[in-house]
Structure 1
Amino acid sequence: MARPNDEVETLLKEYADLIAITAGDAFKARAYEKAARAIGGYPDDISRLDADGLRGIPNVGRSIAEKVLEYLHTGSVSAVEERRARIPAGVRELIAIPTLGPKKALRLYEDLHIGSVNELAAAIEADALRDLKGFGAKTQENILHGIALLQQTGGRIPLHLAVDTAEQIVAELSGVTGCKRCTYAGSLRRVRETIGDIDVLVAAKRSAPFMEALCALPSTAEVIAQGTKKTSIRTTKGVQVDLRVLPPESWGAGLQYFTGSKAHNIRTRTLAVRQGLKLSEYGLFDVDSGQSLASRAEEDVYARLGLPWILPTLREDRGEIEAALRGELPEVVTERSIRGDLHTHTDLTDGLASLETMVAAAAERGYAYYAVTDHAPRLYMQRMTDEKMLAQRERLRELDGTRHRMRLLHGTELNIGPEGDVDWPDEFLAGFDLCVASLHSHFDLDRKAMTRRLVRACENPYVNVLGHPTTRLIGKRPGVDADWDEVFAVCARTGTALEVNAQPDRLDLCDEDVLRAREHGAKFAVNTDAHSVPHLAQLRFGVGTAQRGWLTPEDVINTWPLRRLRGFLAKGRSG
């Protein structure tokens, strides 16, 4: 289930939106947004804190702490409920559209009585917004993009929230008497970026205790269907969970079957048919005799089909069967392969923890090296200066090697300007160990201009990593329009690594773009872009995305030894 921290973060973000709609108080709304981020990134469980403890979290004052305690004690906040009651449900539905802010949503409702996503789409198609100030052709185009994004994600769950729910349920069911094995399967096991529903599997001789236990969980809000082989529930967060109990002897076949993907399973079943076999969730059987040939372990099922075990993240029918038959299945990158994180932030800019705290947390993860890359000065709200950055560098050099001998790299996240230029002159950039360069503005440039912008940034001899390259936010903002094949080719030519950003609302590059970029010979960096200690653990999502893109340790620069990494970061510069 979601941590209390995450629940409160979501609530405070909603309250910030409600304030913006009902009062237009930008300062107050911003205060709640900051508090939401601080609580979401707080490393400990906030439900264990009293009012003083909550006020010890950055950006959490007395009023916000009181609301947090009210939610933790009662499950709701009267001030939030009151604001919700003042805003029509139709406006709240419109706010869910990416690119459409709360003020515009309220105007659409008040001026044109538009109160649903479908009504808004129809109004744009009918050109009904033409006389409404602030809703020009470009704005309407952006809104339609947002509606398309909303419809694509539908009721799908973000990866990290699905993992939280699944792991809690697996932990609960694993403690039921008679449980031999328990795990989640489906698209979640394949680490897809969004999840439709959660598939949980149990191996046991009797199913009834597990079906009853699932229905009785405090997080279960509704029992959709309950049977001896399958039970479906909906959690208090609206997530559907399907539980299947398998005979222990069928565990491997069932896990393979329910992991999918559908296309991958069609290919394995086709292989079985060609060999006179039948593959189902109960096992691999000889068609003539009905004898079970493999079923207890996934490895056995694949081996009987003449295949090595295929990692779940590769099971998308993207050539993995053919590669496996040729003995060319890649040994993909794993979390253990990653020697260090090359994109992280501290409270010097928009991070939530000090340099010392982030370094200590990284060392506890067993990293050989770790980079701090706070924002550069053109991201004006962060108020970076040369003096602040140089002071951080001096402190970082003092800490270098003092935490489990972990080496520290001083970097920065540069801003790519509209023309492809970056912060700071070359002589200042030369002092950094590495530079990540990212798009933070001007997302609406046309394809040609955006491509030229990215290419110029990659050709900069001091830019080592292209951070969250497309800038997409899953379900909220589409990626920028560029000729990505040209960008990927330039990255390969210039020695600029493409980031696989592990933040679960980014996962940028996505798996399909990773596959394309890899074909061009580009290298990659799997980074967390951590703004707090808990964010460091999100590396797992970036690694899963990298695996889906078939990346090996050779493809990923932060799996390399430090000496080799430094050679790459030099990017051909003399000296």
Structure 2
Amino acid sequence: MAGLLQEYADLISITGGDAYKARAYEKAARAVAGHYQDVAQLDAKGLRQIPNVGRSIADKVAEYLASGSVPEIEELRARIPAGVRQLIAIPTLGPKKANVLYQELGISSVEELVDAIHAEKLRGLKGFGTKTEENILHGVRLMQSAGDRVLINVALELADELVEELSAVTGCVRCSYAGSLRRFRETIGDVDLLAAAEDPEPLMRTVTELDTVAEVIAHGQKKTSVRTRSGLQVDVRVVAPEAWGAALQYFTGSKAHNIRTREIAVHQKLKLSEYGLFDVDSGDLVVSQTEEEVYRRLGLPWIPPTLREDRGEVEAAQRGELPDLLTEQDIKGDLHTHTDLTDGVSTLEEMVEAAARRGYSYYAITDHAPNLYMQRMSDEKMLAQRERVREMDGKHRRMRLLHGTELNIDADGEVDWPPEFLAGFDLCVASVHSYFTLPRERQTRRLLKAIENPYVNIIGHPLARQIGRRPEIDVDLDAVFEACARTGTALEVNSFADRLDLRDEHIMHARRYGVKFAIDSDSHSTVHLGYLRYGVGTAQRGWLTAAEVINTWPLTKLRAFVRAKRPR
């Protein structure tokens, strides 16, 4: 439903419609996506209770849920070729430019656009220069590199649902997801599920009959592959219960990690496969029931799935130096969240209540600052929110509330408010929200200036990427990591599934400088608070321990961290 509303907003923009109306539908799309209830279960009155969903939008949602279509949207779709609608999926190319390309040059597909750029046909259009061409081509490459892969939250939500359904099948002893999903890769090509049962037939039959299945690709006793209604392929394998551990280790991967473990087995005159660990000479099964005993027989401790990428984890295991990885249970509070005061869709009260239900010791509200103009923040609004936060402090399961803000790092590294105003916040996150294409030297300089600011405690989504849509900013990472370590400025691992910024490789790099981190949800809705699991998974892939993450610390230690950077 959120996708449909966003499409309508794009169609309005493409056809030159009212910009205010397009913006209203964009806001409604975000609100619906972040709403805590299933909109399919709401009537028109219930739909109007969703922030930014008025009568007209609610009526369209209700109409779609009842009939499967909305005449106004179908009418606009008919006016614009499908290929033009695909153009706006290209990162860096918005609806207005897509409309110009179609109206002026008749371009109605990605392929036609690429050909037109190479033929230099865009250069006569107002607003289309060589830099625009470069940006569009880069956006096309980004879109194509994503291919059929989906963000981890899409795959994991589906996998959780399927594991629950298959676990309930009579005879199913165990069921889990495996593959890149279990390793918490940021994008997933297909979902691998593994189940254990003496008789695989009931499980395999159930897989083909699931409501979410649109197509059965292959059906067998050991493996069944299906395609869901959302287009995602799911491969389900069933093994004997006694082979569970070896199969889970094998199908989790990665391929490079499995090559290393098989090499270790060979040196011990053993053979490792998805069926178990066998003695080469006798052919006898040695172990297979659990991953722990498979690794132990190879002379290794159990290696967490998030580390299994052949990036030194085997050597660390052999030396007894595997990190004690951070877990979601270690997180004591979320330090980057939003409310409907700016671009969130849940109220302050709703966000605080939801955070308290998660058992947090503390929780920070960090709405946007005024230089992000479309959020219409003011000093008065922020101070009024602070007063309300102080009133609510400690009243939700004794959870302490921190009043912060997400500042905007401008092109020169300045932030929104002067020092005397910033001093009133409990903590400040500062993030890049614009000027993404600045040259490397200037981009680095702006980030360093923000890091040096004594009131900036966390750099939010440090490289400003959006997976498949916007690349990382070009910056000298070594200079950034050194400055953060020196000044006591934490780098965020943003848990929003289309960001996961910093990436795992960056985390591994930054750790060597002694940088501290914050794992935050960047929530814009109560639903988003659960996204923290994706940030924790990314942090684990970066080998992070709880001691390196500031929001695993007690509040007294966190406050001391903030005070240490501020002027005395």
TM bracket (short chain) = over 0.9
Shift, 1:574, TM fit: 4.3
Specify the alignment match of 1:5 in structure 2: none
Specify the alignment match of 1:562 in structure 2: 555
Specify the alignment match of 2:140 in structure 1: 147
Of residues 10-19 and 453-462 in structure 1, the stretch that sits farther from structure 2 once superposed is: 10-19
Shift, 1:193, TM fit: 0.7
- Spell out, residue by residue over 1:24-74, the C-alpha distance to the aligned partner (whole angstroms, 9 max, x if none): 321111111111111111112222211101011111112211221222233
Specify the alignment match of 2:414 in structure 1: 421
Q: 1:183 aligns with which of 176, 181, 191?
A: 176
Specify the alignment match of 1:125 in structure 2: 118
Q: Does 1:77 align with 2:70?
A: yes
Q: Does 1:370 align with 2:351?
A: no
- Spell out, residue by residue over 1:525-569, the C-alpha distance to the aligned partner (whole angstroms, 9 max, x if none): 000111111111110001001001111011100001111111111
Structure 2 CA distance for aligned equivalents of residues 115 and 272 of structure 1: 56
Please, which runs of 5 or more residues in structure 1 have no aligned partner? 1-7
SS in 2 for 1:374: strand
Q: Does 1:529 align with 2:522?
A: yes
Specify the alignment match of 1:331 in structure 2: 324
Structure 2 CA distance for aligned equivalents of residues 46 and 247 of structure 1: 41
Q: 1:322 aligns with which of 315, 318, 330?
A: 315
Q: 2:396 aligns with which of 400, 403, 413?
A: 403
Shift, 1:113, TM fit: 3.7
Shift, 1:360, TM fit: 1.4
Please, which runs of 5 or more residues in structure 2 have no aligned partner? none
Of residues 474-483 and 78-87 in structure 1, the stretch that sits farther from structure 2 once superposed is: 78-87
Shift, 1:130, TM fit: 2.3
Q: Does 1:116 align with 2:109?
A: yes
Q: Does 1:539 align with 2:532?
A: yes
Q: 1:61 aligns with which of 54, 59, 69?
A: 54
Q: Which runs of structure 2 are paired with 1:195-206 in the superposition (5 Å)?
A: 195-206=188-199
Specify the alignment match of 2:129 in structure 1: 136
Q: Does 1:445 align with 2:438?
A: yes
SS in 1 for 2:564: coil
Specify the alignment match of 1:3 in structure 2: none
Structure 1 CA distance for aligned equivalents of residues 401 and 147 of structure 2: 42
Specify the alignment match of 1:213 in structure 2: 206
Q: Is this contact kept in 2: 1:494–1:571, CA < 8 A?
A: no
Of residues 65-74 and 239-248 in structure 1, the stretch that sits farther from structure 2 once superposed is: 65-74
Structure 1 CA distance for aligned equivalents of residues 210 and 314 of structure 2: 39
Structure 2 CA distance for aligned equivalents of residues 265 and 17 of structure 1: 45
Q: Does 1:15 align with 2:8?
A: yes
Structure 2 CA distance for aligned equivalents of residues 14 and 574 of structure 1: 49
Shift, 1:123, TM fit: 2.9
Matched residues, number: 568
Structure 2 CA distance for aligned equivalents of residues 321 and 67 of structure 1: 55
Structure 1 CA distance for aligned equivalents of residues 316 and 186 of structure 2: 24
Specify the alignment match of 2:379 in structure 1: 386
Structure 1 CA distance for aligned equivalents of residues 146 and 536 of structure 2: 22
Specify the alignment match of 2:468 in structure 1: 475
Specify the alignment match of 2:456 in structure 1: 463
Specify the alignment match of 1:279 in structure 2: 272
Of residues 252-261 and 165-174 in structure 1, the stretch that sits farther from structure 2 once superposed is: 165-174
Structure 1 CA distance for aligned equivalents of residues 379 and 555 of structure 2: 27
TM-score by length of 2: 0.98
Of residues 467-476 and 74-83 in structure 1, the stretch that sits farther from structure 2 once superposed is: 74-83
Q: Which runs of structure 2 are paired with 1:85-96 in the superposition (5 Å)?
A: 85-96=78-89
Q: Does 1:226 align with 2:256?
A: no
Structure 1 CA distance for aligned equivalents of residues 565 and 433 of structure 2: 27
Specify the alignment match of 1:350 in structure 2: 343
Structure 2 CA distance for aligned equivalents of residues 20 and 164 of structure 1: 32
Q: Does 1:266 align with 2:262?
A: no
SS in 1 for 2:456: coil
SS in 1 for 2:360: coil
TM-score by length of 1: 0.97
Cα RMSD after superposing both structures: 1.3
Q: 2:158 aligns with which of 160, 165, 183?
A: 165
Structure 2 CA distance for aligned equivalents of residues 571 and 478 of structure 1: 34
Shift, 1:351, TM fit: 1.5
Structure 2 CA distance for aligned equivalents of residues 59 and 518 of structure 1: 42
- Spell out, residue by residue over 1:163-208, the C-alpha distance to the aligned partner (whole angstroms, 9 max, x if none): 1111111121111111111111111111111100000111011222
